[in-house]
Chain A
Amino acid sequence: EADIYQTPRYLVIGTGKKITLECSQTMGHDKMYWYQQDPGMELHLIHYSYGVNSTEKGDLSSESTVSRIRTEHFPLTLESARPSHTSQYLCASSDRDTQDSGANVLTFGAGSRLTVL
């Protein structure tokens, strides 16, 4: 079954540590996204990619970085975690809906909840 996977689901880590959140999808989607979801539920796009070797900053500035070396993987890295990075991080992917032109339907992973102490 095609899906999108995020690991770890939960991570508690100390300040200054380097962390990588993994995201993999089996659908062959070109487009992938990282959203940060704050406790008030609002979603903020922090990174996106339209294909291999393509990465762009999103609408919300983030100290994290991403890479897209393979179509199916889109990991997010924080070089030095801080308490302000505590949040839920949601990965998503999409491909153009062939039946409805212009409808960019996203498939989301279950999320990675990061707590930085």
Chain B
Amino acid sequence: GNSVTQMEGPVTLSEEAFLTINCTYTATGYPSLFWYVQYPGEGLQLLLKATKADDKGSNKGFEATYRKETTSFHLEKGSVQVSDSAVYFCALSEEAAGNKLTFGGGTRVLVKP
């Protein structure tokens, strides 16, 4: 079945540091890939997505590129802010699996001033 593996946290960074969160996936076909973010006390919000190989999703300074050859969708941001402190979830959906989302375990990021 489908699965998503992302790096464990917590990840602690200083403001303006470079952030990378690794995400790899296993799927039987050609999934769509997503990053969701959960701020403290809130539900999840879509951060970015990519629906086919080599697509780059981007939003709020975050980027992730769909790499089919390495089955990866790593999240990056060049200069983080304190407001980026949150839990980040990598996820995939595939039509063959009824388009249900499969989530990774989440990575907590803490940005210190």
A-side interface residues toward B, CB under 8 Å? 6, 31, 33, 40-43, 45, 48, 90, 92, 94, 96, 100-111
B106, A106: Cβ atoms closer than 8 Å: no
- Which of B43, B93, B99, B101 makes the CB contact (< 8 A) with A109? B43
With A41-B87, A41-B106, A42-B106 as known contacts, state yes or no: A104 contacts B43, CB within 8 Å: no
Residue of A with least CB distance to B97: A104
Contact of A108 among B32, B44, B100 (CB under 8 A): B44
B45 close to chain A: CB less than 8 A: yes
Question: What 0/1 readout, one digit per residue, does chain B (30-59) give for beta carbons within 8 Å of chain A?
Answer: 001010101001111110010100000000
Is A108 touching B101 in the complex (CB atoms < 8 A)? Answer: no
Number of A-B residue pairs with CB-CB distance less than 8 Å in the complex they form:
63
Task: Tell me whether chain A's interface is mostly helix, strand or loop, or mixed.
Answer: strand
Which B residues are within 8 Å of any A CB, using their own CB? Answer: 32, 34, 36, 38, 41-46, 49, 51, 87, 89, 93-95, 99-101, 103, 105-106, 108
| Known contacts A41-B108, A108-B43; A102 and B103 CB within 8 A of each other | no
CA distance in complex: A101, B41 (Å):
32
Residue ID in chain A nearest B94 by CB atoms = A102
Chain B neighbourhood of A100, CB < 8 A: 32, 49, 51
A-B contact pairs, 20 of them (CB 8 A): A6-B43, A41-B105, A41-B106, A43-B106, A45-B100, A45-B101, A101-B51, A102-B99, A103-B34, A103-B93, A104-B93, A105-B46, A105-B49, A106-B44, A106-B101, A107-B46, A108-B36, A108-B45, A110-B41, A110-B42
Shortest CB distance A71–B (Å): 18
